[in-house]
């Protein structure tokens, strides 16, 4: 490896020469200048995956051969002097909910075992076209239903901060991979918090974009009206760069918004200047404020309070805001999401793809479908299918699905009221802790679905309202990362990045190093330490 | 099992039938409802599919704008109110021919509502109220292999062709149609017939019933005359020809009467119609009905047709069949009865097109209701299925009018056209069918006839001029009908009497 030294000049962390420790913004420069090749970078990650993934279990599928081939092609193109996009040669990991042509895609479920999709998700195609190198597909809770990866049919991933703790979920394979330095960044999906919660508990930046601003085409649907793909990265700027690479209108997704993305990376860079003068920040009382602290850990509330103080010190105008309907977000979400899921998952019937059980001549059609679903789905998925089927059934629809949709409208109104203000007094962003607790131990909540669902308490309102929200690290509690959630009005994702970048820059400066740096050093392993 | 049936006329002395129809129409759009796949009929199984219409995980629908436009035009033609905002809904049920585990349809927010269609039966007009017109997607087709019946029962295995899955399907639902009495079966048929004409005029579907472009479900119930409540209905599924619509209603009326007469109750169920026997048999019982768990389709955005655009569509509707019939009847100077014959024979459009191609209305009617109707009947085909175009028929009438051929030769020319030998003029040329002038050939044929029948010649010259017919016949035979009989007669008169 030829890039030792010079870290200070390029803003690289000083953890030595391992390419895997570089953030992507730096890595793209290194690649562009030819200080390292795409193959070098890809090899570094593949080596590290080989060494570390047996413990982290971040990946469900690693495609070394194709990754090296893709990287080689990028290097050759660069050598020929071809004009390459800025992300050419940068490795990436995709959550296994993202459909990839010819590459096994399971959504964490047994029922899709052996499925080799015939097409690429729009975001996968965009990343391919940008010249990124797909390292592999990351683990996840089955069909994205869970907050810990423990519902994955292929076993849980582990938190790089503490291998006995959950990496969050459902995008827990992606968070483990990025925080564990097994990928520079990754794609996650967020239905009720599945990007933000795993990002928060592993010390990453995770952004759930405005609903409709990243194509859902080729994301295996959990809850269509809530699902959004987004970036998970080690820095705010990287998250913005990845968001820009995957975002924007897609005619294949009817719910895709036909509007240009705001300049996200530019806002992230500007935010890093640390000046938040004039930015109006609302602290949501219902998310960890006075009278709403049940289930919130003291350490989380302490880091959150410090983060709010930091925002003020950076010039933001901070005031408390009440969003009463947020108290109803959890029950509303657990009616809407399972209802849509019960329908979205109906296609897994053993007829066209995936596993088929009982096709032995002794069982009729209905039995084969039932056996396939019985064997193919895990307990949490079945629980939600049953819940959703019940909520949609004739005679109950209004009382459950109908009521939940009304709550959803109310939550949207709470956001609108907070952000509103034609009088110019409206808030620019709302903040809360991303999660009520730090990463909990593996196994702690598997037998208690309600406790598991509570992990998404703070992230659900933005999901239900379709507004963007980012989680940015705001320190450690008991040695484990805590996330700050920043929510903005629909299509104002740039505000999330700007405020998050300011917090990140101030905290990194105060700390003297990035939050993840201890993991980078540890993860390299003794034999690699310079 | 054979159903007990009551004589139809007797049923009507005691019961009042109530009918209703749900008609599915496959639109003739170039691509499917929610993806870009082609919709060609009869393609190799599963060659017109993609991840969307196969319901592959992750795929998403995008609504076909042409299908929405076609549905609105159907609604407008039926006098419906067009929604200013409506949504698709998911109809959830498990069956292998629906790839997603739900059918994307419309539920409580249809695109068109509250229309009507007037149909005429035996000079009386019946107003059929249209409850709704909505847009959905067709299912795939199951093929059950190895059984005796082609049904799943007893089959060895089943194959699924998803070419049809996702083809845009419009469902047109009537309100219950009361007070049709003994005419119920004919009103049902007349409704589907008129609907089909409208769809043809709009050009939104090929409406080929034998290809399943148009399929009707027929609801039938009986109530004792004077009863204030309607009876329990049955739904006879997928009745696939106009004649079958009538037969299915008639059969259900007779069957239900027998059940009610026996003091039993009608089971609310779907029934299958059997073309061969004209009978129906029970399918799924609706009393253990599936709960379809409808909810608004979250993968699609609401449809909100711009009222100005809808107005433009309304203004751009073609002349509808009823108005066209009135106009043509007047233009052609036909009586109501004559017009009814044309309509009932399914020849109105053909005659109109033939007139448009240059034939006189009377010639066009004569050909389609005469010679062509006979040929279609012999072949067991519909008039429209005959391999002859209105343009070709018009050419035939022109050849006759010009004297190029006579009626007899024109029929021979038609043989050639039907055999695929080309246009009439080409057939006349190729087969040498043109009427002979006073050629040497004709002169020698006349000579031969005179020489060959001295006794007839003697009779003619003896004053029995009628006997000339036998000589004309001989010449015609000699010339294989190509001579013009009047010419022959004149030549013979000149020779024998001149």
CB-CB under 8 Å, A351 with B57: no
Query: If pLDDT is split at 50, 70 and 90, which confidence band does A524 have?
Result: very low
Q: Tell me which residue of B399, B340, B402 sits closest to B365, measured CA to CA.
A: B340
The encoded tokens of residue A31 equal 């690649």
The encoded tokens of residue A485 equal 């959630």
Tell me the pLDDT of chain A averaged across its residues: 93
Does the residue B3 lie in any domain? no
CATH number for A40: 3.90.1300.10
Average pLDDT for A267-293: 95
Distance CA A160, CA A167 (A): 7
Strands B112-121 and B102-105, bridge-based pairing? unpaired
CA distance to partner chain A, nearest, from residue B61 (Å):
7
Of B311, B343, B371, the last residue of a domain is B311
CB-CB under 8 Å, A220 with B57: yes
- Chain A within 8 Å of B145 (Cβ-Cβ)? no
Q: Could you tell me the CA-to-CA distances from B308 to A193, B66, B87, B311 in Å, in that order? A: 43, 17, 20, 5
Q: Which of A37-46, A279-288, B284-293 has the lowest mean pLDDT?
A: B284-293
Report which secondary-structure segment, H or E, holds A354: none
Distance CA A77, CA A84 (A): 8
- Chain A within 8 Å of B156 (Cβ-Cβ)? no
* Residue of B437 and A408 predicted with greater confidence: A408
- B203 and B27 in contact (C-beta within 8 Å)? no
What single DSSP character describes residue A317? Answer: E
CB-CB under 8 Å, B57 with A105: yes
- Tokens 């009427």 identify what position? B435
CA distance to partner chain A, nearest, from residue B310 (Å):
22
Does the residue A251 lie in any domain? yes
Of B311, B345, B371, the last residue of a domain is B311
B228 plus B350 within the same structural domain: no
- Chain A within 8 Å of B59 (Cβ-Cβ)? yes
Nearest CA in chain B to A143: B57
Distance CA A220, CA A213 (A): 17
SS3 per residue for chain B: CCCCCCCHHHHHHHEEEEEEEEEEEECCCCECCCCCCECCCCCCCCCCCCCCCCCCCCCCCCCCHHHHHHHHHHHHHCCCEECCCECCEEEECCCCCCCCCEEEECCCCCCEEEEEEEEEECCEEEEEEEEEEEEEECCCEEEEECCCCCCCCCCCEEEEECCCCCCEEEEEEECCECCCHHHHHHHHHHHHHHHHHHHHHHCCCCCCHHHCCEEEEEEEEEEECCCCCCCCCEEEEEECCHHHHHHHHHHHHHHHHHHHHCCCCCCCEEEEEECCCCEEEEEEEHHHCCCCCCEECCCCCCECCCHHHHHHHHHCCCCCHHHHHHHHHHHHCCCHHHHHHHHHCCCHHHHHHHHHCCCCHHHHHHHHHCHHHHHHHHHCCCHHHCCCCHHHHHHHHHHHHHCCCCHHHHHHHHHHHHCCCCCHHHHHHHHCCCCECCCHHHHHHHHHHHHHCHHHHHHHHCCCHHHHHHHHHHHHHHCCCCECHHHHHHHHHHHHCC
CB-CB under 8 Å, B62 with A252: yes
User: Given this model, what pLDDT does residue B282 score?
Assistant: 86
Shortest CB distance from B60 goes to which of A223, A254, A345? A254
Does the residue B228 lie in any domain? yes
Contacts 24+ apart (CB under 8 A), A258-266: A259/A213, A259/A491, A261/A213, A261/A493, A262/A491, A262/A492, A262/A493, A262/A494, A263/A494, A264/A240, A264/A493, A264/A494, A264/A497, A265/A237, A265/A240, A265/A241, A265/A497
Domain that holds residue B468: 440-496
- Quick check: A527 pLDDT over 50? no
- Chain A within 8 Å of B159 (Cβ-Cβ)? no
Report which secondary-structure segment, H or E, holds A475: strand A469-477
* Residue of B467 and A166 predicted with greater confidence: A166
Q: Tell me which residue of A49, A57, A53 sits closest to A442, measured CA to CA.
A: A57
Strand, coil or helix: A145: coil
* Domain count of the fold of chain B: 3
Q: pLDDT tens across A307-321, in order? A: 999 999 999 999 999
Distance CA A519, CA A55 (A): 14
Shortest CB distance from A217 goes to which of B60, B152, B158? B60
Nearest CA in chain B to A118: B51
Q: Which residues of B touch A397 (CB under 8 A)?
A: 293, 295
What single DSSP character describes residue A183? Answer: S
- Quick check: B381 pLDDT over 90? no
- Chain B within 8 Å of A117 (Cβ-Cβ)? yes
- A523 and A492 in contact (C-beta within 8 Å)? no
- Chain A within 8 Å of B153 (Cβ-Cβ)? no
CA distance to partner chain A, nearest, from residue B187 (Å):
35
Q: pLDDT tens across A142-162, in order? A: 999 999 999 999 999 999 999
- Chain B within 8 Å of A221 (Cβ-Cβ)? yes
Q: Which residues contact B228 (CB under 8 A, 6 or more apart)?
A: none
Best B51, B54, B57 member to test A by mutation, with max A CBs in 10 Å, is B57
- Chain A within 8 Å of B101 (Cβ-Cβ)? yes
Distance CA A37, CA A35 (A): 7
CB atoms within 10 A of CB B364: 26
User: Given this model, what pLDDT does residue A526 score?
Assistant: 41
- Chain A within 8 Å of B63 (Cβ-Cβ)? yes
- Quick check: A6 pLDDT over 50? no
Distance CA B344, CA B330 (A): 18
Q: Which residues of B touch A342 (CB under 8 A)?
A: 92, 293
CB-CB under 8 Å, B295 with A251: no
- Chain B within 8 Å of A392 (Cβ-Cβ)? yes
* Residue of B283 and A149 predicted with greater confidence: A149
| Touching A: B residues 204-223, CB under 8 Å | none
CB-CB under 8 Å, A349 with B101: yes
Average pLDDT for A460-481: 97
CB-CB under 8 Å, B293 with A394: yes
B426 plus B447 within the same structural domain: no
Distance CA B76, CA B114 (A): 11
Does the residue A473 lie in any domain? yes
- Chain A within 8 Å of B293 (Cβ-Cβ)? yes
User: Given this model, what pLDDT does residue A161 score?
Assistant: 96
Burial group, residue B203, by CB count within 10 angstroms (0-12, 13-18, 19+):
exposed
The pair phi, psi for residue A412, each rounded to 5°, is -60, -40
Q: Which residues of A touch B61 (CB under 8 A)?
A: 254
Domain that holds residue A489: 7-285+427-528
Best B60, B62, B145 member to test A by mutation, with max A CBs in 10 Å, is B60
- Chain A within 8 Å of B196 (Cβ-Cβ)? no
CA distance to partner chain A, nearest, from residue B49 (Å):
12
Does the residue A393 lie in any domain? no
- A417 and A271 in contact (C-beta within 8 Å)? no
- Chain B within 8 Å of A427 (Cβ-Cβ)? no
CB-CB under 8 Å, B59 with A119: yes
Q: Tell me which residue of A281, A271, A276, A279 sits closest to A235, measured CA to CA.
A: A271
User: Given this model, what pLDDT does residue B431 score?
Assistant: 83
- Chain B within 8 Å of A227 (Cβ-Cβ)? no
Q: Which residues of A touch B57 (CB under 8 A)?
A: 99, 105, 107, 112, 115, 117, 220-221, 347-348, 353
The catalytic site residues of A sit at 95, 170, 194
Strand, coil or helix: A230: strand
Shortest CB distance from A254 goes to which of B57, B291, B301? B301
- Chain A within 8 Å of B55 (Cβ-Cβ)? yes
CA dihedral B61, B64, B67, B71 (to 10 degrees): 70
B233 plus B128 within the same structural domain: yes
Shortest CB distance from B299 goes to which of A220, A254, A365? A254
User: Given this model, what pLDDT does residue B497 score?
Assistant: 79
CB-CB under 8 Å, A224 with B101: no
Does the residue B237 lie in any domain? yes
Q: Which residues of A touch B64 (CB under 8 A)?
A: none
Q: pLDDT tens across A13-54, in order? A: 444 468 999 999 999 999 999 999 999 999 999 999 999 999
The encoded tokens of residue B125 equal 């007009």
CB-CB under 8 Å, A99 with B58: yes
CB-CB under 8 Å, A254 with B62: yes
Distance CA A474, CA A507 (A): 7
User: Per DSSP, what are the bridge partners of residue B174?
Assistant: B130
Strand, coil or helix: A98: strand
Of B393, B411, B431, the last residue of a domain is B431
Nearest CA in chain A to B62: A254
B15-26: strand order across its sheet: B81-82, B112-121, B124-137, B168-174, B15-26, B214-224, B234-239, B269-274, B279-285
- Quick check: B198 pLDDT over 50? yes
B357 plus B291 within the same structural domain: no
* Residue of B490 and A35 predicted with greater confidence: A35
Name the maximum alpha-carbon separation found in chain B.
98
Q: Which of A408-417, B40-49, B65-74 has the lowest mean pLDDT?
A: B40-49
B228 plus B363 within the same structural domain: no
- Chain B within 8 Å of A497 (Cβ-Cβ)? no
User: Per DSSP, what are the bridge partners of residue A485?
Assistant: A432, A471
Query: If pLDDT is split at 50, 70 and 90, which confidence band does B3 have?
Result: confident
Query: If pLDDT is split at 50, 70 and 90, which confidence band does A361 have?
Result: confident
CA distance to partner chain B, nearest, from residue A257 (Å):
11
CB-CB under 8 Å, B60 with A343: no
- Quick check: A7 pLDDT over 50? no
Best B34, B108, B293 member to test A by mutation, with max A CBs in 10 Å, is B293
B225 plus B154 within the same structural domain: yes
Q: What angle do CA A380, A386, A391 make, to 5 degrees?
A: 125
Helix, strand, coil in percent for chain A, rounding step 5:
45, 15, 40
Helical H segments across A158-213, by residue range: 172-179, 196-202
B181 plus B275 within the same structural domain: yes
Q: pLDDT tens across B424-446, in order? A: 888 888 887 777 777 788 888 88
Does the residue B2 lie in any domain? no
Q: What angle do CA B117, B237, B381 make, to 5 degrees?
A: 75
- Tokens 């975002």 identify what position? A247
User: Per DSSP, what are the bridge partners of residue A59?
Assistant: A138
Query: If pLDDT is split at 50, 70 and 90, which confidence band does A523 have?
Result: very low
CB-CB under 8 Å, B295 with A392: yes
B366 plus B466 within the same structural domain: no
User: Per DSSP, what are the bridge partners of residue B274?
Assistant: B279
- Quick check: B386 pLDDT over 70? yes
Shortest CB distance from B55 goes to which of A121, A347, A389? A347
Could you tell me if the ipTM is greater than 0.90? yes
Query: If pLDDT is split at 50, 70 and 90, which confidence band does A3 have?
Result: very low
Helical H segments across A362-516, by residue range: 365-376, 379-392, 403-419, 449-453, 460-465, 493-511
The encoded tokens of residue A211 equal 């609903």
Q: Which residues of A touch B59 (CB under 8 A)?
A: 119, 217-218
Strand, coil or helix: A476: strand
B489 plus B414 within the same structural domain: no
Q: Which residues of A touch B51 (CB under 8 A)?
A: 117-119
- A337 and A223 in contact (C-beta within 8 Å)? yes
- Tokens 């073309």 identify what position? B275
The pair phi, psi for residue B174, each rounded to 5°, is -85, 160
* Domain count of the fold of chain A: 1
- Chain A within 8 Å of B317 (Cβ-Cβ)? no
Q: Tell me which residue of A110, A130, A347 sits closest to B51, measured CA to CA.
A: A347
* Residue of A138 and B472 predicted with greater confidence: A138
B233 plus B337 within the same structural domain: no
User: Given this model, what pLDDT does residue B8 score?
Assistant: 86
B12 plus B138 within the same structural domain: yes
- A342 and A384 in contact (C-beta within 8 Å)? yes
B339 plus B302 within the same structural domain: no
């Amino acid at each position: 490896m030829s890039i030792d030294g010079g870290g200070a000049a390029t803003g690289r962390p000083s953890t030595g020469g391992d390419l895997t420790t570089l953030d992507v913004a730096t890595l793209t420069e290194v690649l562009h200048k030819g200080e390292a090749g795409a193959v070098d970078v890809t090899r570094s990650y593949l080596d590290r995956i080989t060494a570390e993934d047996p413990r982290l279990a971040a990946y469900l599928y690693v495609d070394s051969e194709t990754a090296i081939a893709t990287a080689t092609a990028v290097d050759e193109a660069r050598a020929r002097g071809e004009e390459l996009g800025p992300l050419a040669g940068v490795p990436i990991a995709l959550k296994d909910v993202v459909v990839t042509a010819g590459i096994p895609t399971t959504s964490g479920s047994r029922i899709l075992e052996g499925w080799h999709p015939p097409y690429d998700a729009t975001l996968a195609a965009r990343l391919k076209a940008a010249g990124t190198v797909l390292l592999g597909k990351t683990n996840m809770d089955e069909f994205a239903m869970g907050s810990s990866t423990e519902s994955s049919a292929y076993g849980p991933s582990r938190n790089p901060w503490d291998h006995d703790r959950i990496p969050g979920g459902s995008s827990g394979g992606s968070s483990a991979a990025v925080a564990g330095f097994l990928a520079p960044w990754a794609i996650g999906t967020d239905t009720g918090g599945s990007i933000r919660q795993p990002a928060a508990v592993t010390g990453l930046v995770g952004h759930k974009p405005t609903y409709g601003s990243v194509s859902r085409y080729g994301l295996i649907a959990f809850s269509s009206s809530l699902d959004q793909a987004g970036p998970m990265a080690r820095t705010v700027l990287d998250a913005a760069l990845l968001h820009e690479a995957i975002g924007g209108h897609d005619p294949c997704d009817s719910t895709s918004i036909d509007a240009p993305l705001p300049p996200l990376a530019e806002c992230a860079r500007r935010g890093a200047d640390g000046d938040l003068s004039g930015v109006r920040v609302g602290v949501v009382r219902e998310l960890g404020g006075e009278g709403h602290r049940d289930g919130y850990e003291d350490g989380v509330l302490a880091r959150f309070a410090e983060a709010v103080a930091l925002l003020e010190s950076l010039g933001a105008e901070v005031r408390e805001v009440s969003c009463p309907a947020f108290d109803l977000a959890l029950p509303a979400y657990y009616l809407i999401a399972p209802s849509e899921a019960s329908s979205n998952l109906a296609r897994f019937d053993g007829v066209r793809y995936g596993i088929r059980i009982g096709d032995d001549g002794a069982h009729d059609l209905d039995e084969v479908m039932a056996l396939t679903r019985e064997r193919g789905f895990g307990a949490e998925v079945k629980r939600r299918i049953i819940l959703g089927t019940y909520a949609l059934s004739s005679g109950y629809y209004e009382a459950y699905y109908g009521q939940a949709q009304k709550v959803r409208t109310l939550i949207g109104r709470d956001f609108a009221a907070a952000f509103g203000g034609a009088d110019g007094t409206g808030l620019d962003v709302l903040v809360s802790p991303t999660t009520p607790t730090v990463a909990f131990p593996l196994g702690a909540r598997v037998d208690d679905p309600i406790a598991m669902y509570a992990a998404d308490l703070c992230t659900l309102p933005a999901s239900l309202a379709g507004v963007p929200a980012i989680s940015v690290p705001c320190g450690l509690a008991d040695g484990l990362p805590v996330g700050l959630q920043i929510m903005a009005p629909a299509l104002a994702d740039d505000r999330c990045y700007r405020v998050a970048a300011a917090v990140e820059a101030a905290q990194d400066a105060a700390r003297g190093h990035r939050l993840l740096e201890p993991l980078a050093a540890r993860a390299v392993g003794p034999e690699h330490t310079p | 099992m054979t159903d007990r049936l009551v004589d139809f006329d007797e049923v009507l002395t005691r019961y009042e039938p109530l009918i209703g129809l749900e008609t599915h129409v496959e639109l003739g759009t170039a691509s499917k409802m929610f993806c870009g796949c082609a919709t060609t009929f009869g393609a190799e199984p599963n060659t017109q599919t993609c991840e969307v219409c196969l319901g592959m995980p992750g795929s998403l629908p995008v609504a076909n704008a042409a299908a929405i436009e076609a549905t609105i035009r159907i609604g407008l033609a039926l006098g419906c109110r067009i929604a200013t905002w409506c949504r698709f809904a998911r109809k959830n049920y498990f069956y292998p021919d629906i790839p997603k585990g739900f059918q994307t349809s419309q539920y409580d927010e249809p695109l068109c509502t509250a229309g009507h269609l007037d149909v005429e039966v035996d000079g009386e007009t019946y107003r059929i109220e249209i409850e709704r017109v909505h847009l959905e997607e067709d299912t795939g087709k199951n093929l059950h292999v190895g059984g005796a019946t082609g049904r799943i029962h007893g089959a060895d295995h089943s194959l699924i062709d998803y070419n049809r899955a996702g083809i845009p399907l419009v469902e047109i639902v009537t309100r219950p149609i009361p007070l049709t009495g003994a005419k119920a079966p004919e009103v049902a048929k007349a409704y589907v017939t008129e609907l089909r004409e409208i769809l043809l005029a709009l050009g939104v579907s090929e409406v080929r019933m034998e290809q399943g472009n148009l399929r009707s479900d027929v609801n039938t119930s009986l109530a004792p005359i004077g009863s204030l409540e309607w009876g329990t209905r049955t739904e006879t599924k997928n009745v696939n020809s106009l004649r079958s619509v009538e037969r299915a209603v008639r059969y259900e009326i007779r069957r239900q009467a027998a059940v009610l007469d026996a003091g039993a109750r009608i089971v609310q169920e779907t029934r299958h119609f059997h073309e061969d026997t004209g009978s129906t048999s029970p399918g799924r019982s609706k009393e253990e009905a599936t709960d379809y768990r409808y909810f608004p389709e979250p993968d699609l955005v609401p449809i909100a047709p711009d009222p100005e655009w809808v107005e433009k569509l309304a203004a751009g509707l073609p002349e509808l069949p009823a108005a066209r019939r009135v106009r043509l009847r007047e233009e052609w100077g036909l009586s109501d009865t004559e017009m009814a014959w044309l309509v009932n024979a399914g020849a109105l459009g053909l005659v109109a097109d033939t007139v448009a191609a240059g034939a006189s209305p009377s010639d066009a009617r004569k050909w389609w209701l005469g010679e062509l109707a006979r040929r279609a009947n012999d072949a067991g085909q519909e008039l429209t299925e005959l391999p002859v175009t209105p343009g070709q028929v018009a050419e035939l009438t022109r050849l006759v009018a010009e004297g190029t051929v006579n009626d007899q030769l024109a029929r021979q020319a038609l043989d050639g056209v039907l055999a695929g030998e080309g246009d009439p003029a080409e057939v006349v040329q190729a087969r040498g069918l043109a009427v002979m002038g006073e050629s040497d050939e004709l002169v020698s044929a006349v000579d031969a006839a005179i020489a060959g029948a001295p006794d007839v010649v003697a009779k003619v010259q003896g004053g029995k001029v009628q006997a000339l017919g036998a000589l004309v016949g001989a010449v015609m035979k000699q010339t294989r009908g190509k001579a013009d009989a009047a010419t022959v007669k004149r030549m013979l008169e000149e020779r024998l009497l001149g």
